[in-house]
Structures are given as C-alpha cells and as structure tokens.
C-alpha cells in the first residue's frame, strides 16, 4: 500500500468486539484508512510491539464540571477530567449536563459548552439531565437538544430536587421515544430512602457506614421494576445506570430475555469494594459514599456473573469527584452526618485498568467482551456512530494496551484534580500505554501529547437500541383496534 498515511500502527494484535488478529492499522485525516497484515509508510509509525490494539474506551457515565443539586461543584473540569480519562485508556467521553429546577435547556447547554469546548482534550458529548420537565421543556427544548445531537436524557427517581416522579418519567420517556432518544434512569425508591434516613437520624446513627444501611437493596430493586414497567407501558427504550444489587441485575436479565428494550450498566466500585469500606477509621469511610451504596461480597460475585453473561452493556465509572476536604466531601462540616456528605467516588482513570485486570486477566471475561464493555456497546447504544470500532471510515480512536504490565495504583497516576483515589495501592495487570483520539496521539508512554481544547463536540445519531421486540400494552392495542391512538 502506497497511500500517504498520517500514522501507521504496526506490529500489534488488533482486538475488536468480535475477533483478534495480528495486523497493522493506517490512519488518515483522523479516520481509520486501512487495516491489513502489513502496511508500509506513514508520516508517523507507532510500533505496538506485540501489544493489544483496541478501540479507545468510551466513558459514558461521568460527572465533569457539574454542580450537584445541593450546589457542590465536582473537582474535575473538562481539562483534568478528559486528561484523566485519556490516561485510563479512553478516547471519548459523555459527561452529564445537568438541568436544575427553573433552568432552561438552552441555558444549561450554553453553560456546559463554555466549560467543555475550551478545555477538553478528548471528543465529548452530553447526556442531558432533566429535573424540571415543564411543557416547554418537553415539547420545545428537548426536541431542540435532540436536533443538535444530544440523544440521551437522564432522570432521577430519588433526591427531592431532582426526582421527576412517575408521571414526569412517563412524559420524558414518551418524548424521548418520539425522537429516537434514550432515557437513562437513576433508580432508587425516594420514600424508602427518606424514611430510612429519618429512622437512622432519630437513633443517632449518622456515621458514614450508615449510608449503606440508609439505601436498602429493596429501594433499588423496587425502583428498577417500576422504571421498567413505566417504560414498557409506552414501549420506550430505557437504560438503567449503576445497578448495584443482585435483585436489580436479575430484573434486567429477565426483562432483556423477554425482549424488553432495556439496557444497563454496573460500575467498578460495586465490583471492587464493599460496605465494609464505609466503616474505615474516623471519617475515611466518607471516601466511599456513593449512591446506590456499596453492597457485600456475595453481591460482587453475582454482579461479576452478570458482567460475564452480558446482562450489562457497559461497566462505567460514574466518576463523581469530590475532594476529601471542606470544598468537597465536607462542605457541610468535618463531622457532617452521612446525608450531608457529598455523594460520589472518583474513578475515570481506573475504570478500564480495573476491568482489564479483574475481568480479562482474572479470566472472568475475554478480550472481545472487554472491547464491547469498554467502547463498542456504548457507541452503538448512545449513537456514537463513528466511534467504538476498528474499521475503515471510523474515527481513529485507538488505545494500545500492554496486557502484562503490572502497576500499583497511585493518586498521581490518575491525573485528575482529586486528593485521593479509592483504588490506591491496588495492584493491577494490563495498562493502556498509548491513546489516540481522531488520529491524534493524546497519551503516549506516560506523557500527555494533547493540547487543551483539541476535543470536539460529537453530535450523536438516534440511539442505536437494537431490534428488541419491545412491549405492546394490550390496553393501547385495544384502543388502536377502535381507531384511537394515544400512545407514541
């Protein structure tokens, strides 16, 4: 081949969600131009040295430069967040753009554009969090966001300032379905959690370890069942984020087997840590406060089983970085009760090394599953049509992994704005050594080569939610038989 390629990656094992083979990849103008057994030329030649050449990771669940409903700003902006993601093997990410009560969608997106465009070293898009589904938002603003290429909306079934209620969720599901968008849901029963919080407070049980008690497994399981039922009523696709329980995962597996248009993820923290970590000395347990909370060892084993069986489409970080100081976790005081401690854990750089080490190296999943869980499924489901696969014409988003490198996780390796990592001291095998985004080298052999702001906003296609049968409510079918149409 004599084409004047910009870059040729040679001497590696190419890994996709379907296969592995020895070969070279040629890049031109930010896209994959050719894949062959051997490719000559290239203005820049990168020797993969027998390492694994895989699709760059797509981090599809992270909180970057985002205020919580209580007004706490996450520690990472779009520069530190994207740099951390890149060192973790990612070439693209999709953080949340959060609407709080009273805000217009246009104002929200303008705010996040101002935060992302000048700073991100990776390509990015947004999931739009909807907390105030007014008629204007539903019928004017969300369709405009969709037309711009924002094709996923997230809603909450908990937190008083974010909870849209069942009727609001039905309205959002209906609008999303009409436009080919995907609704994501944080599923926990709000009243169960509030009732538990009151009982624990009355008993004086407010240390970090009681956070896990306050959000029972049943709260997640009931809410997942309810969210799925609402989605089935209007036959809309649904994505359940951060599943943390055996019962919740079982619901997802059962409904997927039945053909429900349902997608789901779990997160490394639910596979790596347990509620015992919340009971560390002093306030150290606050580092492990996240929602849903950490569970137990039996749950970990069950969740790994669901990862292996394909219940989950992705293992996402849910990176929610709040520093272990008065500006983050302890905004409400150094001895704040657990409901007043900022809720979330960092992990955007550790996600894929952990999944590779404890998944692939430990024999729980194979390389093809890793490629799907880390990139391919997210690209398909969230409409990133030019990413997530190594094939000619796709964006040259590539990660080269050394499957044998053993490293002890340190805070410095995270390259974020945090003052701790929950993975600190963990020995992992398998690390990304080179990451390219649209053909440009972002990270190479431990060095950042990207410029601030070189990432681009990616307008996504309608959600690629597959060919699941879906659910046809018989009541709507009866109305249709009479010539009436009230469902989307």
Does 222 score more than 90 pLDDT?
yes
Treating both helix axes as pointing N-terminal to C-terminal, what angle do 246-257 and 217-233 enclose, rounded to 10 degrees? 20
* Triad 308, 287, 270: Cα angle to 5°: 10
Tokens of 477: 């079918």
Helix count and strand count (H, E) for the chain: 15, 18
Tokens of 121: 């070293």
Does 231 score more than 80 pLDDT?
yes
pLDDT, tens digit (0-9, with 9 covering 90-100), for 422-441 = 999 999 999 999 999 999 99
Does 125 score more than 70 pLDDT?
yes
Categorize the per-residue pLDDT at 2 as very low, low, confident or very high, splitting at 50, 70 and 90: low
**In a domain? residue 325:** yes
Give Cβ neighbours of residue 87 (< 8 Å, ≥ 6 apart).
349, 413, 414, 415, 432, 435, 443, 448
User: In 49-181, which ranges are E strands?
Assistant: 52-55, 57-62, 90-98, 123-124, 127-129, 152-156
**In a domain? residue 32:** no
Domain that holds residue 170: 56-378
Q: Measuring CA to CA, which residue among 371, 433, 438 is closest to residue 401?
A: 433
CA distance readout (Å), 276 to 138, 163, 318, 344, 383: 42, 29, 20, 16, 38
Q: Please, what is the average pLDDT of the chain?
A: 96
- Lowest-confidence range among 60-74, 273-287, 405-419? 60-74
CB hemisphere CA count around 189 (13 angstroms): 18
pTM: 0.96
**In a domain? residue 35:** no
**In a domain? residue 294:** yes
Please report the pLDDT score of residue 487 as a whole number.
Answer: 66
Tokens of 175: 């609008």
Rounded CA-CA distance 185/215 in Å is 16
**In a domain? residue 15:** no
Does 366 score more than 50 pLDDT?
yes
Categorize the per-residue pLDDT at 1 as very low, low, confident or very high, splitting at 50, 70 and 90: very low
pLDDT, tens digit (0-9, with 9 covering 90-100), for 150-207 = 999 999 999 999 999 999 999 999 999 999 999 999 999 999 999 999 999 999 999 9
Residue pair 452/118 in contact (Cβ under 8 Å)? The answer is yes
Count of domains for the chain: 1
CATH of the domain at 283: 3.20.20.140
**In a domain? residue 398:** no
Does 310 score more than 90 pLDDT?
yes
Is the preceding peptide bond at 292 cis, omega within 30 degrees of 0?
Answer: yes
**In a domain? residue 131:** yes
**In a domain? residue 467:** no
Does 255 score more than 90 pLDDT?
yes
Residue pair 488/179 in contact (Cβ under 8 Å)? The answer is no
* Triad 153, 187, 346: Cα angle to 5°: 80
Please report the pLDDT score of residue 488 as a whole number.
Answer: 65
Quick one: residue 430, left, alpha or beta (phi over 0 = left, psi -120 to 50 = alpha)? left
């Amino acid at each position: 081949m004599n084409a004047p390629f910009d870059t040729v990656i040679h001497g590696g094992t190419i890994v996709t969600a379907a296969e592995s083979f020895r070969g070279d990849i040629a890049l031109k103008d930010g896209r994959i131009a050719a894949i062959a057994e051997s490719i000559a030329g290239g203005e820049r030649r990168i020797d993969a040295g027998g390492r694994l050449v895989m699709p760059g990771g797509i981090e599809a669940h992270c909180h970057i430069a985002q205020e919580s409903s209580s007004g706490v700003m996450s520690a990472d902006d779009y520069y530190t967040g994207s740099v951390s993601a890149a060192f973790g093997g990612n070439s693209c990410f999709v953080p949340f753009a959060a609407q709080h009560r009273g805000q217009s969608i246009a104002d929200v997106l303008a705010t996040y554009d101002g935060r992302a465009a000048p700073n991100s070293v990776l390509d990015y898009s947004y999931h739009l969090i909807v907390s105030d589904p007014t008629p204007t938002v539903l019928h004017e603003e969300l369709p405009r966001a969709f037309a711009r290429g924002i094709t996923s909306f997230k809603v909450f079934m908990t937190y008083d300032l974010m909870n849209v209620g069942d009727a609001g969720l039905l309205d959002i599901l209906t609008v999303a379905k009409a436009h080919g968008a995907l609704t994501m849901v944080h599923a926990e029963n709000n009243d169960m959690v509030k009732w538990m919080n009151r009982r624990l407070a009355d008993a004086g049980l407010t240390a970090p370890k009681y956070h896990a008690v306050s959000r029972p497994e049943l709260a997640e399981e009931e809410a997942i069942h309810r969210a799925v039922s609402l989605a089935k009523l209007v036959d809309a696709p649904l994505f359940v984020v951060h599943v943390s329980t055996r019962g919740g995962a079982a619901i997802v597996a059962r409904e997927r087997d039945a053909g429900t248009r349902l997608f789901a993820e779990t997160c490394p923290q639910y596979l790596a840590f347990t509620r015992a970590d919340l009971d560390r000395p002093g306030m150290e347990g606050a580092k492990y406060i996240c929602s849903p909370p950490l569970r137990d060892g039996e749950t970990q084993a069950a969740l790994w089983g669901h990862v292996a069986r394909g219940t989950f489409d992705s293992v996402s970080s849910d990176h929610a970085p709040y520093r272990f100081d008065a500006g983050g976790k302890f905004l409400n005081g150094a001895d704040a009760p657990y409901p007043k401690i900022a809720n979330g854990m960092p992990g955007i750089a550790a996600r894929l090394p952990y999944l590779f080490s404890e998944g692939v190296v430990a024999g729980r999943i194979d390389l093809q599953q890793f490629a799907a869980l880390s990139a391919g499924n997210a690209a398909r489901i969230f409409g990133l049509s030019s990413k997530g696969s190594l094939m000619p014409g796709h964006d040259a988003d590539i990660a080269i992994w050394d499957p044998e490198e053993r490293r002890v996780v340190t805070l410095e390796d995270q390259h974020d704005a945090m003052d701790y990592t929950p993975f600190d001291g963990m020995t992992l095998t398998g690390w990304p050594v080179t990451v390219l985004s649209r053909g440009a080298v972002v990270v190479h052999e431990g060095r950042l080569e990207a410029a601030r702001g070189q990432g681009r906003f990616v307008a996504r296609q309608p959600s690629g939610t597959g060919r699941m049968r879906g659910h046809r409510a018989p009541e709507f079918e009866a109305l249709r038989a009479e010539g009436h149409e009230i469902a989307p």
